[in-house]
Structure 1
Amino acid sequence: MPLGERSGDKSDSRYCGVETEFNDDMPQLLFVNINGGFDFVVAPLMNPDYRPSLMDNDRSRSGVLPFAGSDIVLSPSQWSTHVVGKISSWIDLDSEDEIVRNDSEIALKQEIAWASHLSLQACLLPAPKGASCANYARCVNQILQNLNSIQLWLRIPLEKSDDDAMSGNSDNLSDGQVDSWELWNSFRLLCEHHSQLSIALDVLSSLPSANSLGRWFGEPIKAAILHTNAFLTNARGYPCLSKRHQKLMVGFFNHSIQIVISGKPVHSFPAGSSELSANHTDNHIDGTQRHPIRSYLDYVGYLYQRMEPLPEQERFELGYRDFLQSPLQPLMDNLEAQTYETFEKDTVKYSQYQRAICKALLDRIPDEKASLVTTVLMVVGAGRGPLVRASLQAAEETGRKLRVYAVEKNPNAVVTLHSLVKLEGWENIVTIVSSDMRCWDAPEKADILVSELLGSFGDNELSPECLDGAQRFLKQDGISIPSSYTSFIQPVTAAKLYNDVKSHKDLVHFETAYVVKLHSVARLAPCHPVFTFTHPECSTKKNNQRYKKLQFEIPSDTGSAMVHGFAGYFDATLYKDVHLGIEPSTATPNMFSWFPIFFPLRTPVCIRPGSPLEVHIWRCCGSTKVWYEWCATSPTQSAIHNTNGRSYWVGL
């Protein structure tokens, strides 16, 4: 059974598995564990005593491999939904012993071939036995080239020596290895970042620092193997987890990472409890007996059920998580009705605009002149009218008189605007102008110029160029809303996004900036500001080209990390202290009009502790387009991406 049905939750993390020993009787093994409350088993497919070199000398076996039953002992759906194949843990492809090395290669290929035959969804690979894993990775990479849809989960112990946490002891790491991320990174680089190679993290009794843990959430973790000896004992004698482990579990749940419980019971349960003792693991499970580690499962289920339900906005955005979208080009393309409708539902954005307009009207017109003076307000890029409505509501709220020009270039939106004006009875207040703001000759100057031309990166939908064109009909002392906006970037680990871009197998996609609801990413350092634009811009030498060199310091206790690209955000000042934006530290709550932007790197950059990341980014302007170029220059040099806007640009 799932850990529990939670409203709106369809993630894989609802399901909890159990790691088992080899059992010839796969149907009985499955029956005991499924009836015991688990959703799937991580079970060895091959008898652990099997060695190919011994098999060659044993003619009596007739070449039949000692698998756990034939494919027909379970139905195809049982194999594919309830069994994850556990590759033999004795396998060591980097052994000094040639016989062990050869046996390991043969067995690995045999077991994965059998798992593929069974249509299993995943196989758990044993952790590399030492710091060197080149031959192991070579073999796995060979297999990956011809593998069907199976995911290979590489077992990695969650270990790192930190000042605030002692490293756990693991037989899987050599004496000199202190950071298991390095082990994973070495392996995945040798396997060329293959999208079917994922991680199963062994969660031990001690955990590294929060920064060190955080970098894993940008990596392709499919499962977390939670050992029974990682549990503490609560006041009633039952298993529980430390606060840090609990927080980590919630992080796994939020990222659709499945939990696998491993090990024998290590708790002496209170007298009278229905738990089976450790030596009853093979007993039949019936109505009076519980699975020997059921209490550990129950505790994980309790943590899952205790989680706060997803807010409505997050539920709305679930389908967009880590989904790459090309940014809108509202200047070059006319938006569709569905796009307008989505943005118009963002009440937070328009309430912020209304607040800003209220403050501007109060500053512009004193109370004693409120009934005498009519303020001229122009909405440039009016769309289907939400900013017109916000402006008129602001006028009503402040008791100021308003004359509004709604300027919109999309003829389809203009149809809706005319209908709205007639429906609301705004004919004497609102004048609709069907024109590009850069070409329109206004009949009078504006007191207030209102626009919502901001993109995820602030200036990436050409707000600077559009407002430069519209500024000529703003009075000398006129107010622009927004009055300024700044873009921000930060380095991120984003293995899924990187593999999605890489799957296109071309340069163009690696040189495109994407709008994406970032979820399975690790934000490696605080954001740095990039480009700022201010309106009105009174300089006689206007230039919207920009260049910025940035240096990011990764916290030293993070350990090494992989930078797959840069997340981009913006923060805008609408008027005085009224702002809106998506930069994480100052983001406007509950606003969904903008997802972050993602600038990928063709070759990911590995950052070591204490080694700063140096990044360069340019905003380039041509006669017909605007584009960005970007690169990293330290600790390693990347190519300059998108030279001359060859792959991605915004059309003027």
Structure 2
Amino acid sequence: MSVNRKRASCGLEIANPTDLDACITAGTHSNYDFICVPIVHPRYAREFDPHKPAYNRNAPLTRADILLAGSDWSSYVVGKLDTSINVDSVVPSIRKISEAKLTEELKYASHLGLPAVMVRLTGEHQPNLARILSNSVCRDQGIQIWAQVPISSADCNKYEDLEPGREIISSWSWWNRFRLLGNMSSKINLCLEMVETIPEEIEVLRWLGEPIKEFMNDTNDPLCSFARGFEDFLQIPLQPLMDNLESSTYEVFERDPVKYSQYLAAMQAAITDMIPEEEKATKVLTVMVVGAGRGPLVKAAISASKNAGRLIRVFAVEKNPNAIVTLHHLKIEEWKDQVTVISSDMRDWNPPAEDYADILVSELLGSFGDNELSPECLDGAQKFLKPGGISIPSSYTSFIGPIQSSKLFNEYRNSKDDTKHPKAAFETPYVVHLLNRVELDEPQPLFTFDHPNLDRIIDNSRFKELDFKIRCDSVLHGFGGYFECTLYKNIMISILPATHSPEMFSWFPIMFPLLEPLQMKRGENLKLNFWRCVSKHHVWYEWSISEPICSPVHNPNGRSYQIGL
């Protein structure tokens, strides 16, 4: 949406338009005032390395200008710069190629007479980008630059890789440094993007004094589509180790567009690291997918090996006899001899030493990281991982934070079951898409699990005491649980609100209720005690409050909720 003093106009961003004229026609019929499209169509690959064969190819840069009348280009089309451009890269070759791409796109935008070019800022330090764009608007008085930044600073880390422990710089600071480097030109304006986090009031007020030309809101977010109808709806967490999942459950989670692409990237990086360039034609890695389900990680592993140009063989280990049927069909129809299907619980299978894994891959995470017993499963499976072998994921950490939600409190208060303990509704954790709630303090890290687990005596029981500082006068109804997971090196997935993987929907948070709501004052200290308990046959959580009052321990001995081993 573009904003001016007279009226607000509404635009439509299209990632891959197949027919530009048809897009404008459809957009105007739907009362959109303009469309935003990439200046260079994604299918037109460009090569700037003179040593590459594609450097001398004779092909067009992008669409021809004659597709539209000049008045349509200048009235209805906003150009978007290629998001792969990184003119501030510390790698000289990337910076040089990016400068060539950027210059090419800006010249063509000027040639078309576009009214504006949109660029996404991805960090605070982008002086070269600001310099080039500022010089461009000085040369071409007819074009504007729209700098796209998240409206909430909490979403900045989705675009900027921060060093561990480094505080997030506000998105306003990104914009402020960029426009200062651009000499505060009136041709450099602001595009605010609503990503996931609702901004705080002070952030909104600060933006009101800025030259906002556009406000972006995603109308086709897979998380919104998936979660529709599940807002604040309580669900008992799955127990895939104890229960065999149904086909429809597999199908839902296989649709996640982000989780499997991140797993693929992690496997590709690991495969590349384990096979040097000089051995890629001869060395074959063994990849074991444990808990293979209906095979999405097997498919990702095969794609990763092709992308890396390395050779692998795959073992798909699955205990669900119904999912095994699907795996055997895929082996016959697609995978052939590259994949061996093993019908077994990963903890019970004993392969010969020559079949031990170089890379062990699993997707056993629950909403709290460890609540589907990934630690116990991978500890049992690591016996067939070679020395120096890689586990994907390599680690995961649960997070927990205080929540006010009268709606959820009433939901679990009204969900009593006469067949269970009288307090069971308040001692059972629930998976829930949190909507009608207030976070009373930032979630804090709770328990971390690393794989492979090289402890001589493995003990996955845990205890931790956490202190929270309450933000406002409120009522405490429970605690929201989340996780962050490192798949391999810096490749991660997360459902923690501050670092949530954009558009990933495989997990909702988990909610730990309180038996009685607790009145809290702003600035008051809240002390939470939390246990992960392990017996021979079960794992369960217990939790209590010790400040500002002492509450009874919830779920003692797992009386209301246990996870079966």
Q: Does 1:522 align with 2:438?
A: yes
Cα offset, 1:310, TM superposition: 6.2
CA distance in 2, matches of 1:574, 1:381: 16
Partner of 2:412: 501
SS of residue in 1 equivalent to 2:428: coil
CA distance in 2, matches of 1:523, 1:341: 32
Cα offset, 1:619, TM superposition: 0.2
CA distance in 1, matches of 2:548, 2:280: 60
Partner of 1:412: 322
| Structure 2 counterpart of 1:466, from 353, 372, 377 | 377
Letter in 2 for 1:626: V
Write out aligned runs for 1:117-132 (5 A).
none
- Percent identical across equivalent pairs? 54
Q: Does 1:535 align with 2:448?
A: no
Cα deviations across residues 320-370 of structure 1 (Å, max 9, x unaligned)?
A: 100000000000000000000001001210000000001101110101000
SS of residue in 2 equivalent to 1:319: coil
Q: Does 1:561 align with 2:471?
A: no
Letter in 2 for 1:614: K
Cα offset, 1:638, TM superposition: 1.3
| Structure 2 counterpart of 1:328, from 232, 235, 238 | 238
Whether the aligned pair in 1 keeps the contact of 2:402 and 2:441 (CA below 8 Å) is yes
CA distance in 2, matches of 1:376, 1:422: 20
CA distance in 1, matches of 2:282, 2:524: 64
SS of residue in 1 equivalent to 2:301: helix
Partner of 1:384: 294
CA distance in 1, matches of 2:310, 2:557: 49
Q: Does the C-alpha gap of structure 1 residues 309 and 361 become closer, same or farther in structure 2, counting only changes over 3 Å? A: closer
Q: Does 1:394 align with 2:304?
A: yes
CA distance in 2, matches of 1:549, 1:313: 33
Q: Does 1:592 align with 2:509?
A: no
CA distance in 1, matches of 2:256, 2:218: 23
After alignment, is 402-411 or 504-513 more displaced? 504-513
Partner of 1:651: 564
Letter in 2 for 1:432: V
SS of residue in 1 equivalent to 2:528: strand
Write out aligned runs for 1:24-63 (5 A).
none
Partner of 1:207: none
Cα deviations across residues 216-265 of structure 1 (Å, max 9, x unaligned)?
A: xxxxxxxxxxxxxxxxxxxxxxxxxxxxxxx9xx98xxxxxxxxxxxxxx
SS of residue in 1 equivalent to 2:349: coil
Letter in 2 for 1:466: C
Letter in 2 for 1:513: P
| Structure 1 counterpart of 2:351, from 418, 442, 455 | 442
Query: Unpaired segments of 5 or more residues in structure 2?
Result: 1-151, 153-193, 199-214, 417-421
Whether the aligned pair in 1 keeps the contact of 2:222 and 2:503 (CA below 8 Å) is no
Letter in 2 for 1:402: I
| Structure 1 counterpart of 2:364, from 428, 453, 456 | 453
| Structure 1 counterpart of 2:260, from 350, 362, 370 | 350
CA distance in 2, matches of 1:430, 1:310: 36
CA distance in 2, matches of 1:576, 1:537: 17
SS of residue in 2 equivalent to 1:520: coil
SS of residue in 2 equivalent to 1:442: coil
Q: Does the C-alpha gap of structure 1 residues 351 and 601 become closer, same or farther in structure 2, counting only changes over 3 Å? A: same
Letter in 1 for 2:476: V
Letter in 1 for 2:431: V
Whether the aligned pair in 1 keeps the contact of 2:257 and 2:503 (CA below 8 Å) is no
| Structure 2 counterpart of 1:635, from 537, 548, 551 | 548
Partner of 1:548: 464
Q: Does the C-alpha gap of structure 1 residues 389 and 507 become closer, same or farther in structure 2, counting only changes over 3 Å? A: same
TM-score for the superposition, normalised by structure 2 = 0.60
TM-score for the superposition, normalised by structure 1 = 0.52
Cα deviations across residues 471-495 of structure 1 (Å, max 9, x unaligned)?
A: 0000111000000000000100111
SS of residue in 2 equivalent to 1:320: coil
Letter in 2 for 1:385: G
Q: Does the C-alpha gap of structure 1 residues 310 and 518 become closer, same or farther in structure 2, counting only changes over 3 Å? A: farther
CA distance in 2, matches of 1:347, 1:307: 19
Whether the aligned pair in 1 keeps the contact of 2:396 and 2:486 (CA below 8 Å) is yes
Larger radius of gyration: 1
Q: Does 1:370 align with 2:283?
A: no
CA distance in 2, matches of 1:610, 1:320: 33
Partner of 1:510: 426
Partner of 1:160: none
CA distance in 2, matches of 1:381, 1:311: 29
Equivalent residues, number: 350
Cα offset, 1:637, TM superposition: 1.6
Q: Does the C-alpha gap of structure 1 residues 310 and 378 become closer, same or farther in structure 2, counting only changes over 3 Å? A: closer
CA distance in 1, matches of 2:222, 2:489: 30
SS of residue in 2 equivalent to 1:427: helix
Q: Does 1:339 align with 2:252?
A: no
Cα offset, 1:610, TM superposition: 2.1
Cα offset, 1:306, TM superposition: 10
Partner of 1:625: 538
Letter in 2 for 1:602: L
CA distance in 1, matches of 2:240, 2:277: 39
Partner of 1:15: none
Whether the aligned pair in 1 keeps the contact of 2:290 and 2:318 (CA below 8 Å) is yes
Cα offset, 1:313, TM superposition: 2.5
CA distance in 1, matches of 2:541, 2:404: 21
Partner of 1:480: 391
Q: Does 1:612 align with 2:514?
A: no
SS of residue in 1 equivalent to 2:446: strand
Whether the aligned pair in 1 keeps the contact of 2:331 and 2:337 (CA below 8 Å) is no
Q: Does the C-alpha gap of structure 1 residues 412 and 308 become closer, same or farther in structure 2, counting only changes over 3 Å? A: closer
After alignment, is 351-360 or 505-514 more displaced? 505-514
SS of residue in 1 equivalent to 2:292: coil
Query: Unpaired segments of 5 or more residues in structure 1?
Result: 1-209, 211-246, 252-304
CA distance in 2, matches of 1:316, 1:414: 27
Partner of 1:123: none
CA distance in 1, matches of 2:217, 2:283: 55
Partner of 2:212: none
After alignment, is 602-611 or 311-320 more displaced? 311-320
Cα deviations across residues 527-585 of structure 1 (Å, max 9, x unaligned)?
A: 10000000001110210000010000123xx3x11110000000000000001010111
Where does structure 1 differ by over 3 angstroms across 4 or more consecutive aligned residues?
305-310
SS of residue in 2 equivalent to 1:620: strand
Letter in 1 for 2:362: S
Cα deviations across residues 44-102 of structure 1 (Å, max 9, x unaligned)?
A: xxxxxxxxxxxxxxxxxxxxxxxxxxxxxxxxxxxxxxxxxxxxxxxxxxxxxxxxxxx
Cα deviations across residues 173-201 of structure 1 (Å, max 9, x unaligned)?
A: xxxxxxxxxxxxxxxxxxxxxxxxxxxxx
Q: Does the C-alpha gap of structure 1 residues 584 and 366 become closer, same or farther in structure 2, counting only changes over 3 Å? A: same
Partner of 1:108: none
Q: Does the C-alpha gap of structure 1 residues 592 and 312 become closer, same or farther in structure 2, counting only changes over 3 Å? A: closer
SS of residue in 2 equivalent to 1:428: helix
CA distance in 2, matches of 1:335, 1:309: 32
Q: Does 1:429 align with 2:338?
A: yes
CA distance in 1, matches of 2:404, 2:456: 42
- Give the superposed CA RMSD: 2.1
CA distance in 1, matches of 2:380, 2:372: 14
Letter in 1 for 2:400: I
SS of residue in 2 equivalent to 1:392: helix
| Structure 2 counterpart of 1:601, from 499, 504, 514 | 514
SS of residue in 2 equivalent to 1:393: helix
Write out aligned runs for 1:277-292 (5 A).
none
Cα offset, 1:615, TM superposition: 0.3
| Structure 2 counterpart of 1:317, from 214, 219, 227 | 227
Cα offset, 1:308, TM superposition: 6.2
Whether the aligned pair in 1 keeps the contact of 2:221 and 2:503 (CA below 8 Å) is no
CA distance in 2, matches of 1:312, 1:511: 32
